[in-house]
Amino acid sequence: MRRAATTGWMRYAALAALLCCALAPAQTRDPYAAPRRALIAELQAEARGDAGSLTRIDSDVLVVMGRVPRHLYVPKDELAHAYENRPLAIGHGQTISQPYIVALMTTLVQPRAGQRILEIGTGSGYQAAVLAESGASVHSIEIIEPLAAQAAQRLRGYRNVVTRTGDGYYGWKDAAPFDSIIVTAAASSIPPPLLAQLKPGGRLVIPVGSSFFTQTLLLVQKDAQGRVRTRQILPVRFVPLTGGH
C-alpha cells in the first residue's frame, strides 16, 4: 500500500512539474513587458501637475497604455526602440506619435465606454488601440492606403474599431456625430467638417500650425448650444494633415 501511495504521489509531482514547465513560458513570453512598465513609469513621472491642469495625464490612461503592446505597432527595424518615449518612423513619411503625446491627447478627449470617437490619421493603429481599450467605439481614417491596410490588420482583434482609407479632412459623415474627435496630423486650421460632426458637449483635439516648427495642440470644446471654445495646450510637432483640402 505504501509503495502504491508513493508511486501515486510521485506521478502527481511529476505532472505538477510538467504543468509548471508548460506554464512558465507563458509568464515570460513577452520580452517587452519590462520596457513597457518602464515607459509607463516614465510617463507617470511626466504626468505631474495640479488637478485640472490641461497637461496632466489621467492615471486611467496610463493603465490602458500599459496593456497595449506598442511593439506590435512599429516596423521591425524599430522594435528595439518601441518603448522609448519618442516618435518613430513608420514609413511613407509618417510617424507613430511619442507615447507622452498619445497619453496626453487620450486624456484630453476623455474616452469612455459607449462613446463614439473619430480618429483622423490611423497611422500604425496604436492611438486607435489605446482609445479602443477604453471601451469606446472608434472610427479611424487613414489617407495613405498601405498604412490603412496594415493598421486594419493590426486592429482586427478590436470589435469596437472600424477603419477605412480616405481623406480625414472631411471626417466620416455617415458615422457622425461623434462624442470626441482626435487628429494626429497638423492642419493649417480647424477643418469645418470636423466641427460640424462633433456633438454638442464634445471635444476635438488637434495640432494646428502652418509650419512643422510652429504647431500648437488645441482642445476644442463645443457646448450644448453649439458654441465653440478653443484652448491652447502646448507646442507640438506633427506631420502635416494631407488631403483634398
**Catalytic site includes residue 140:** no
The CA distance from 219 to 5, in Å, is 71
Catalytic, out of 59, 97, 189, 210: 97
What phi, psi does 19 have (nearest 5°)? -65, -40
Neighbours of 39 (CB within 10 A): 22
Q: Could you tell me where the beta strands, DSSP code E, fall in the chain?
A: 88-91, 94-96, 116-120, 137-142, 161-165, 178-183, 198-208, 215-222, 228-236
Instruction: Kindly report whether the peptide bond that precedes residue 177 is cis, defined as omega within 30 degrees of 0.
Output: yes
No. of helices (H) and no. of strands (E), the chain: 7, 9
The CA distance from 242 to 169, in Å, is 8
Give the Cα separation of 78 and 189 in Å (integer). 32
The residue length of the chain stands at 245
Catalytic residue ranges: 97
